[in-house]
Structure 1
Amino acid sequence: MHTDTDRCVRAVRSKDARFDGWFFTAVSTTGIYCRPSCPVVPPKAENMRFYPSAAAAQQAGFRACKRCRPDASPGSPQWNERADLVARAMRLIADGVVDREGVTGLAARLGYSTRQIERQLLAELGAGPLALARAQRAQTARLLVETSALPMAEIAFAAGFSSIRTFNDTVREVFDLSPTELRARGARSRPAPTTGMLSLRLPYRAPLCPDNLFGHLVATAVPGVEEWRDGAYRRSLRLPYGQGVVALRPQPDHIGCRLALTDLRDLTIAISRCRRLLDLDADPTAVDDLLRKDPLLTPLVGKNPGRRVPRAVDAAEFAVRAVLGQQVSTAAARTHAGRLVLAHGEPVDDPAGGLTHLFPAPEALAELDPGRLALPRTRRTTLTTLVGALAAGDIALGVGSDWDEARTNLSALPGIGPWTVETIAMRALGDPDAFLPTDLGLRRAARDLGLPSTPSALTARAEAWRPWRAYAVQYLWASDDHPISHMPAV
């Protein structure tokens, strides 16, 4: 979009927050870059420069605006909508792969050469993987400086910088403030940091309907791993460097996020996974505008616009849970998952609530005794085969995976049919066009609304909902009076 100058200028002049994260506006006379909704008086059009990423603006020599904080914009919805190389690379960079494994590790995960990846990222985003990861490190550093009382040396290490000097230079270059000045500025507008806990605000594009989003997560919560407490969804997190516990609370203009981490190097990854879980980088206007074109969906969208697709913080975990949930009630699926957690999960420390374990990793489940599972024989075979394939790396379901390839590999496993494949595609892979025409709840909702209710006829009708069929599913499910459709009581 950043190449459409007229459209960008109109968005800046109208301070349209819908475009935050889509592009960034730099001002040649001030050397500052902003989000489109920046509250300051818009500059003259001839002084505006537009960039597709914060990293590109930084590479061009611009500093982040101290007023609108463009580095804290919602992410571009493209990276969760698309399945091409650039989108997969951006999801992996957000998950910290470049910081942990370098550009060669990123390339290995994607199956391309480093030169190909750098060329495509530069062409579309104006910055290569190292610059994009550097911009992300700068944002992590700012969060830690402003929300914790940690010494600057610990912050530099946790944010992924190789030295204190690089940390200081980067913060000054990006924010035009020293780390000490940044902390003092943030302290004027924020409460004092809580020891051992990070309190953050996760932005999103309005509108956001939290009902089905939090309702679904809580109704399907695995005991010991997830809970609803004091108006917040809480869960344990398995992260690259350690463990975490997060509490996510819906607010009128943001999601309140409280994080406790055993290793602060996991902060960026934890935030990325929470945003993905709640689908916070979606573009609800684009989704709802398309779905409203179907006259039978119009009332549903008009009643509660901005529905999101509840996703997952761990794709392998969700795949296991999807198999456990085949042809059983929500309560039964939670019971089966809870037994696995007690038998094979890793303990976590949660003084603030009732979380006791991490969901077991595929490697821990690969050795389980199928005879001890209270499941039909065929489903036991399905579960053990899936776990073995995940543990061996034969099936990739991570943020950088190829959606079509994952579907093909899942379909080849015994006992995994179209419903399970599409459920995993929707929640674990994050495909916004995943569709479940055989789902009984969806067919019942379609019938009650006057839509076709047979799988083939419903699939044909849903062609007009592409590429947002997963969101149409949420609107249809929410028309039924089921716990997944409603916010839990506080």
Structure 2
Amino acid sequence: MHTDTERCVRAVQSKEARFDGVFFTAVRTTRIYCRPSCPAVPPKPENMEFHPSAASCQRAGYRACKRCRPDTSPGSPEWNVRADAVARAVRLIQDGVVDREGVPGLARRLGWSTRQIERQLLAELGAGPLALARAQRAQTARLLIETTPMPFAEIAFAAGFSSIRTFNDTVREVFALTPGELRARAARRSAARRSPVRAATGPGADGPTAPATATPGVINLRLPFRTPLEPSNLFGHLAATAVPGVEEWRDGAYRRTLSLPYGHGIVALAPRPDHIACRLLLTDPRDLTHAISRCRRLLDLDADPVAVDERLRTDPLLAPIVDKAPGRRVPGTVDPAEFAVRAVLGQQVSTAAARTHAARLVTAHGVPVDDPEGGLTHLFPTPEALAALDPETLALPRSRRTTLLTLVGALADGSLPLGPADDREEARARLLALPGFGPWTTEIIAMRALGDPDAFLPGDLGVRRAAEGLGLPGTPAALTAAAAQWRPWRAYAVQYLWATDDHPINLLPA
């Protein structure tokens, strides 16, 4: 969109928050870049230039606006919708792959040369992989500076910087403030929020919720999203299918354990009117970027609900249920391999039975963890741990034992990659080639584990019943044909169809 100057100018002049993160406005006269919804008086059109990423702005010599904090914008929905190599590269960078493995590691995962990656990302995002990773490190550093009492030296290495000097230089260049000044500003904002007379914060409220916490390893922050967001099916689904020991609903928040590259963590996510309250307890702060990326995918926070709902409303039969509760998201997962295992355990059984089967695996093969703030006990077992289990210990039909063991074997040996950079159609083909995998299991994994916004379940009983109730065809073939007009958002249409039922997965827990 950043190449459509006229449309970008209109968005900035009308302060449309929908486009925050889709493009960034750089002001030539002030050398500042902003989100489109910045509350400041819009600059003259001739003084604006538009960039596809914060990294592109920084590369061009602009610094982040202190008022609208553009680096905290929701991510562009384009990278989750697209399935090409550039989108897969962006998702990997968001997961911190460049920080952990460097650009050569990113290239290996994509099957590209480093030169190809640099050229393609420069063409589409105005910045190469190192610049994109640097911008992400700067945002991670800001979060740690503002939300924890960690010493700056520890923050520098936790955020992925190679030296304290590089950390200091980057923070000053990107935010026009020293680390100490950033922390002081955060403390003043926090004091203002606690004061009876609250200061106006504007879009900057997408920032952290607290300047520091006394609990070691805990980070409190806000996860921004584009409105509207309907939380009922999103959190209802996560709570109703929660695996005991790994997930729970407690005190108005969905909580779960996380297996992370450097350690493990526990996250609590609670819906708020303008953000998701996120409380992270990490054993290693270097996992912050990766944990945030997983949480955003879990809750589908980078979606553009306006674009989705506009498309679905073109079907007059679907429009009434979209209008009733707009902004539904597709529940995702923090671990694609975990979800694939749970999808097999849930084949042809009730939600309660699927939770019971998963809980048994967790107790027998999961890694124990301590949860000082709740009742979580284990990490979900890895494919490597499950590949060694005795099939006779599984309380499953023999055919499903074979399906499960074949799946975890393929996940463990790498022959079935299900990561954010993996090709969705290739993953579908490999899943369908496994014994016991049909269209329903494959599509639910594509929808929730691979994040495909166009995954569709025409054979699902709940979808068929809801479709018939609305006057849509009830047979899979006819429903698939009728759903062509919903593309590329059929996964969201499934959420709206499911929501016509009063099943607990569609209800926000009390």
Q: TM-score range by the shorter chain?
A: over 0.9
Mapping 1:72-151, distance limit 5 Å: 72-151=72-151
> Alpha-carbon deviation of 1:41?
0.2
The reply to whether residue 356 of structure 1 matches residue 382 of structure 2 is no
Segment drifting more, 114-123 vs 284-293 = 114-123
> Alpha-carbon deviation of 1:193?
1.6
Once superposed, which parts of structure 1, at least 4 consecutive aligned residues long, lie more than 2 Å away?
Answer: none
Q: Which residue of the partner structure matches residue 193 of structure 1? A: 212
Partner secondary structure for residue 279 of structure 2 = strand
Q: Which residue of the partner structure matches residue 70 of structure 2? A: 70
Query: d(CA) in 1 for partners of 2:502 and 2:252?
Result: 21
Q: Which residue of the partner structure matches residue 61 of structure 1? A: 61
Query: d(CA) in 1 for partners of 2:498 and 2:111?
Result: 37
Query: d(CA) in 1 for partners of 2:423 and 2:260?
Result: 22
Q: Which residue of the partner structure matches residue 414 of structure 1? A: 435
Query: d(CA) in 1 for partners of 2:157 and 2:104?
Result: 22
Q: Specify the code of the residue in structure 1 equivalent to 2:92.
A: L
Q: Which residue of the partner structure matches residue 269 of structure 1? A: 290
Q: Residue by residue, what CA displacement relative to the aligned partner does 1:146-176 show, whole Å, maximum 9, x if unpaired?
A: 0000000000010000000000000000000
Contact 2:226 2:303 (8 Å CA) reproduced: yes
TM-score (norm 2): 0.95
Structure 2 residue corresponding to 1:384, chosen from 401, 405, 415: 405
The reply to whether residue 165 of structure 1 matches residue 184 of structure 2 is no
Contact 2:183 2:211 (8 Å CA) reproduced: no
Query: d(CA) in 2 for partners of 1:88 and 1:67?
Result: 32
> Alpha-carbon deviation of 1:458?
0.4
Query: d(CA) in 2 for partners of 1:138 and 1:48?
Result: 24
Query: d(CA) in 2 for partners of 1:349 and 1:400?
Result: 32
Q: Specify the code of the residue in structure 1 equivalent to 2:229.
A: L
Query: d(CA) in 2 for partners of 1:208 and 1:193?
Result: 28
Contact 2:186 2:211 (8 Å CA) reproduced: no
Query: d(CA) in 1 for partners of 2:478 and 2:70?
Result: 45
Mapping 1:227-242, distance limit 5 Å: 227-242=248-263
Q: Residue by residue, what CA displacement relative to the aligned partner does 1:345-371 show, whole Å, maximum 9, x if unpaired?
A: 001110100100000000110100011
The alignment of Structure 1 onto Structure 2 pairs a total of residues equal to 489
Segment drifting more, 189-198 vs 395-404 = 189-198
Q: Residue by residue, what CA displacement relative to the aligned partner does 1:92-126 show, whole Å, maximum 9, x if unpaired?
A: 00001000001111111111111111111000000
Contact 2:440 2:460 (8 Å CA) reproduced: yes
Q: Which residue of the partner structure matches residue 355 of structure 2? A: 334
Query: d(CA) in 2 for partners of 1:40 and 1:167?
Result: 29
Structure 2 residue corresponding to 1:395, chosen from 416, 425, 432: 416
Q: Specify the code of the residue in structure 2 equivalent to 1:70.
A: P
Q: Specify the code of the residue in structure 1 equivalent to 2:226.
A: R
Q: Which residue of the partner structure matches residue 222 of structure 1? A: 243
**Alignment identity in percent?**
79
Q: Specify the code of the residue in structure 1 equivalent to 2:66.
A: K
Aligned residues: CA RMSD: 0.5
Q: Residue by residue, what CA displacement relative to the aligned partner does 1:23-46 show, whole Å, maximum 9, x if unpaired?
A: 000000001000000000000000
The reply to whether residue 372 of structure 1 matches residue 393 of structure 2 is yes
Segment drifting more, 191-200 vs 176-185 = 191-200
Query: d(CA) in 2 for partners of 1:271 and 1:187?
Result: 22
Structure 1 residue corresponding to 2:488, chosen from 439, 444, 467: 467
The reply to whether residue 11 of structure 1 matches residue 30 of structure 2 is no
Segment drifting more, 109-118 vs 225-234 = 109-118
Partner secondary structure for residue 431 of structure 2 = helix
Q: Specify the code of the residue in structure 1 equivalent to 2:212.
A: P
Q: Specify the code of the residue in structure 2 equivalent to 1:187.
A: A
Q: Specify the code of the residue in structure 2 equivalent to 1:39.
A: P
Partner secondary structure for residue 189 of structure 1 = helix
Partner secondary structure for residue 271 of structure 1 = helix
Q: Specify the code of the residue in structure 1 equivalent to 2:478.
A: A
Query: d(CA) in 2 for partners of 1:390 and 1:372?
Result: 20
Q: Specify the code of the residue in structure 1 equivalent to 2:228.
A: P
Q: Which residue of the partner structure matches residue 340 of structure 2? A: 319
Q: Specify the code of the residue in structure 2 equivalent to 1:225.
A: V
TM-score (norm 1): 0.99
Q: Residue by residue, what CA displacement relative to the aligned partner does 1:303-353 show, whole Å, maximum 9, x if unpaired?
A: 000000000000000000000000000000000000000000001110100
The reply to whether residue 479 of structure 1 matches residue 500 of structure 2 is yes
Query: d(CA) in 1 for partners of 2:77 and 2:34?
Result: 18
> Alpha-carbon deviation of 1:472?
0.1
Query: d(CA) in 1 for partners of 2:68 and 2:177?
Result: 15
Query: d(CA) in 1 for partners of 2:243 and 2:471?
Result: 35
Query: d(CA) in 2 for partners of 1:482 and 1:296?
Result: 22
Structure 2 residue corresponding to 1:248, chosen from 261, 266, 269: 269
Query: d(CA) in 1 for partners of 2:59 and 2:273?
Result: 34
Q: Residue by residue, what CA displacement relative to the aligned partner does 1:263-307 show, whole Å, maximum 9, x if unpaired?
A: 000000000100000000000000000000101111101000000
Query: d(CA) in 2 for partners of 1:331 and 1:439?
Result: 18
Q: Residue by residue, what CA displacement relative to the aligned partner does 1:80-101 show, whole Å, maximum 9, x if unpaired?
A: 1010011000000000100000
Q: Residue by residue, what CA displacement relative to the aligned partner does 1:381-430 show, whole Å, maximum 9, x if unpaired?
A: 00000000000000110111100110011110000111000000000000
Q: Which residue of the partner structure matches residue 200 of structure 2? A: none
Query: d(CA) in 2 for partners of 1:134 and 1:23?
Result: 18
Query: d(CA) in 1 for partners of 2:369 and 2:171?
Result: 34
Q: Specify the code of the residue in structure 1 equivalent to 2:284.
A: D
Q: Which runs of 5+ in 1 are unaligned?
A: none
Query: d(CA) in 1 for partners of 2:346 and 2:115?
Result: 43
Q: Which residue of the partner structure matches residue 180 of structure 2? A: 180
Contact 2:146 2:211 (8 Å CA) reproduced: no
Query: d(CA) in 1 for partners of 2:366 and 2:475?
Result: 40
Partner secondary structure for residue 449 of structure 2 = helix
> Alpha-carbon deviation of 1:192?
4.5
Partner secondary structure for residue 189 of structure 2 = coil
